[in-house]
């Protein structure tokens, strides 16, 4: 195997392993848009022959799938199985799930659990409202942290010095796209104690996010999403009251450090 000097902790990165991960990430990001061999070779900057050999290896092991013509490629079922095992092995997710059910029953709205992953938030669990469905909230989907209630609640737990320089991606006309605007919002979140996303991630949806402080700084957050058309001042007050109570219950239940294994 080839190695490169992009060292982490003094260990050089294994180039072939890094290329495999990059390929899987590219395919996962494409969703329902399969890719052709040349597209993947061009995007990752590798020879066509090397990309073909890598794809065939991953197809044989179930990590990549191909169509009947063998010309289109997409993410395979083993990626789903591995992702599911991540959720099953995480004691925090198991402990928080009942409180998501409780919040969903009390409010009748969509409730999320998300985790900060770099500049994004990954959805770990969702309880959908029967009133509306949004594919953005499905488990495993990622959303830029600056553009949603979950992410902003978690960014507010960190110093502004850690914010990346803008401009940021605009998901809707109201998304924060510059550092100063986001920093001002985060200051309000710290004062208020929770985040509010008014159609910044999805047009027509307002979200309320609450960081879970069993880690310092918090890595996980819960949120409630509601359509603008159904959000009255009284309902907003009810959402905030219920979600504050849910956060308190979660933080009283989930041990700091998340168990015997301390993942980094």
CATH fold, domain 90-253, is Beta-Lactamase (3.30.450)
pLDDT digits (tens, 9 = 90+) for 133-173: 554 556 668 889 999 999 999 999 999 999 988 899 999 99
**What pLDDT is attached to residue 7?**
45
Dihedral (C-alpha) 105, 110, 116, 121: value to the nearest 10 degrees? 170
**What pLDDT is attached to residue 6?**
46
CATH fold, domain 3-80, is Arc Repressor Mutant, subunit A (1.10.10)
Q: Mean pLDDT throughout 238-257?
A: 92
Q: Which residue has the higher pLDDT, 1 or 108?
A: 108
- Tell me the CB-side half-sphere exposure of residue 163, using CA atoms within 13 A: 27
Report in angstroms the alpha-carbon separations of 232 from 56, 112, 222, 224.
54, 21, 21, 14
Domain ranges of the chain: 3-80, 90-253
Report in angstroms the alpha-carbon separations of 155 from 140, 186, 201, 249.
20, 7, 15, 22
Asked if residue 16 has pLDDT above 90, the reply is no
Rounded to whole angstroms, the Cα distance separating 137 from 221 reads: 14
Copy the structure tokens of residue 108: 């009748």
**What pLDDT is attached to residue 233?**
95
**What pLDDT is attached to residue 82?**
78
pLDDT digits (tens, 9 = 90+) for 200-238: 999 999 999 999 999 999 999 999 999 999 899 999 999
In b/e form, how buried is each residue of 10-30, taking b as 16+ CB within 10 angstroms?
A: eeeeeeeeebbeebbebbeeb
Classify 175 as helix, strand or coil: coil
Q: Mean pLDDT throughout 247-256?
A: 91
**What pLDDT is attached to residue 78?**
83
pLDDT digits (tens, 9 = 90+) for 176-202: 999 999 999 999 999 999 999 999 999
Domains 3-80 and 90-253 share a fold: no
Asked if residue 11 has pLDDT above 70, the reply is no
Asked if residue 261 has pLDDT above 70, the reply is no
Q: Which residue has the higher pLDDT, 129 or 192?
A: 192
pLDDT digits (tens, 9 = 90+) for 92-107: 899 999 999 999 999 9
pLDDT digits (tens, 9 = 90+) for 77-91: 888 777 777 666 688
Q: Mean pLDDT throughout 64-78?
A: 91
Is the four-CA dihedral 162, 163, 166, 171 of positive or negative sign? positive
What is the total residue count of the chain?
264
**What pLDDT is attached to residue 251?**
95
């Amino acid at each position: 195997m080839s190695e490169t000097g992009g060292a982490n902790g003094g260990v050089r990165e294994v180039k072939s392993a890094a290329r495999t991960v990059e390929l899987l990430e590219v395919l996962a990001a494409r969703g329902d848009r399969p890719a052709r061999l040349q597209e993947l070779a061009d995007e990752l900057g590798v020879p066509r022959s090397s990309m073909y050999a890598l794809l065939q290896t991953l197809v044989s092991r179930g990590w990549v799938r191909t169509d009947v013509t063998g010309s289109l490629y997409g993410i395979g079922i083993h990626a789903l199985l591995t992702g599911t095992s991540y959720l099953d092995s995480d004691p925090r997710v198991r402990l928080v799930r009942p409180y998501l059910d409780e919040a969903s029953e009390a409010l009748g709205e969509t409730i999320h659990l998300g985790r900060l992953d770099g500049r994004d938030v990954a959805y770990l669990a969702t309880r959908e409202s029967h009133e509306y469905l949004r594919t953005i909230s499905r488990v495993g989907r990622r959303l830029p942290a600056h553009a949603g209630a979950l992410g902003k609640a978690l960014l507010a737990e960190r110093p502004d010095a850690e914010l990346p320089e803008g401009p940021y991606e605009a998901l809707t006309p109201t998304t924060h796209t510059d550092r100063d605007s986001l920093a001002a919002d985060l200051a309000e979140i710290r004062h208020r104690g929770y985040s509010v996303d008014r159609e910044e991630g999805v047009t027509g949806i307002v979200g309320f996010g609450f960081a879970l402080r069993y880690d310092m700084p918090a890595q996980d957050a819960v949120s409630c999403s509601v359509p603008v058309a159904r959000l009255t001042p009284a309902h907003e007050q009810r959402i905030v009251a219920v979600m504050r109570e849910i956060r308190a219950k979660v933080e009283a239940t989930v041990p700091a450090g998340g168990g015997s294994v301390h993942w980094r």
